[in-house]
Structure 1
Amino acid sequence: MDIPHQRLVYFQVTVAAGSIRRAAARLDIAPSAVSRQIGLIEEALAAPLVERTRDGVQPTAVGEMLLDYIQQREKLDQVFGEQLDAYQRLETGEIRLIIGEGFVGDLINTPLRAFREQYPGIKLKVDTGSMQCIIDSVVEDEADIGLMYHERVHPQLRFWHSSPQPLMALMSPEHPLAGEHHALTLEEVAAHPLALWGPGHGVRQLMDDGFNDAGVRPQTVVQTNSMEVLKQAARSHLCITLLPAFAAARELSEGVLVARAVEYTTFREARAHIITRIGRRMPRASLQLLRHLERWITSFRCPDA
């Protein structure tokens, strides 16, 4: 039903005033104008809205229904206004994130906790995925913000911030290479058993490119889609794994793993990124979270290798 709001106001005031003349006086317009506006509503509804009595006018059955509709609409307008106001004050809303598994630990404990303390009404939906899954989710608007590793450019992505995060060789302190303080060559890494991501993972592709360029064949003894498996395999000094240091920050700080640099340009130039889709209009809450994430990712530090 497409009836202009002001026209409904004329009808509502007329019923409340009890006559067209008194309604016109309240509205400060001519009685004929009030009558004409009510007539247009009646024409649209194909039914009379008011009937004249000795004391003035009163609503017909259809008029009563229209009054009820107007009251319900006013309540909806009020509720929407309150919800919009709360949303604009960042008291309500939902932000969807898609992140690489390596970001989980520090992300929950640092920027997300700080953001939730400041904006407790905002709901956060956090999923993990591979690099391609993160890209697809952001491009297809299934996620508002993505955190991913290694990818540098993409025609549909806006890179809000990037932090240099070299791909490192992680191993137990008891591993034979743990005592080496020079940057390890790919030949040295490939000479030892390795725990690697499964084929198709973005970081695995980065590793495979490196080993292919070096002309060496890695000794892959553990293959998994779980970062926890990679870290546990390295802790047990069963093998070496390759990860950015931030993905094992707790283990490195506790000394149960050590990180060694790898002498390969693409490994050294890998980065962690905060991304959104180009052209996407970000709600205020999402922009505030982006600022939290930018401050957090700027503080990333790769432990000395």
Structure 2
Amino acid sequence: MRLAVTGREGQVAASLVETARGRDGLEVVAVGRPALDLARPDTVFAALEAARPDIVVSAAAYTAVDQAEDEKDLAFAVNATGAGKVAEAAARLGVPVIYLSTDYVFDGTKDGAYVETDPTAPLGVYGASKLAGEEAVATANPRHLILRTAWVYSPFGNNFVKTMLRLAASRDEISVVADQWGNPTSALDIAEAILHAAARLQTDRNFAAFGVYHLAGGGETNWSGFARHILDTSRAFGGPHASVRDIATSDYPTKARRPANSRLSSAKFEGVFGWKAPGWRVSVESVVRRLGGSETKQALSA
């Protein structure tokens, strides 16, 4: 099975390439700029056709949440128009598409975890552009899996785990928002789930459960709880540590509003594909342990 994943530098793309390495009968090819540029739709089909995929994973995205408020056109060009073109290219090639979306399609006012049928109501441009991408993907290719995920981190790229470790190296205390709740999700776990789902799509030619799924780490916490576990784990491995001070969202103003509740229920994905994410604490410990090894300096400076 050969997967083409859009983007080379993204956390999910890097995790997919690494996770697939050495597995018999499995190849992941990362396709990115300049050959494939979502802001230039005319590049999409030729780049994916050259990759000869059995399945396309649409992971490349505009992810600068605050900057998107000032760059609405670019955010929509990449996350909506570009994603639609990827799905259209997959359809022309006769293969399914797996599109990565976000918890930010919700406004955060629900009391419990969001399920796939809950009404969407994004608070900002980023969430709105990803929701538009969902709609474009579904329209362009009926054989689609839309995977909404949340609070993604990994050993790759820029993310919350690496930020906390970097700050802890130079501070005794870090202020972190305590009134936003969600599911920390390792991109390495996302990669495992995607490969599991892709194998099902490849072997089950009569698969009929295409559509929207939530895919997030097991369990829930707030950002300050997430930070504490990162730093406590780092200290246990001999890495940097700092105390965490709880603050309110109002104490840390950002250009884009964030949902107070980002919790996602992954029960539908678990039921259909028989795959369940590890508890978020376990996955955090795995990534922090890895970042505390010989690659620490390189990873934390990335």
Q: TM-score range by the shorter chain?
A: under 0.3
* Greater helix proportion: 1
Normalised TM-score (structure 2):
0.25
* Greater strand proportion: 1
For the pair shown, which has the larger CA radius of gyration, 1 or 2? Answer: 1
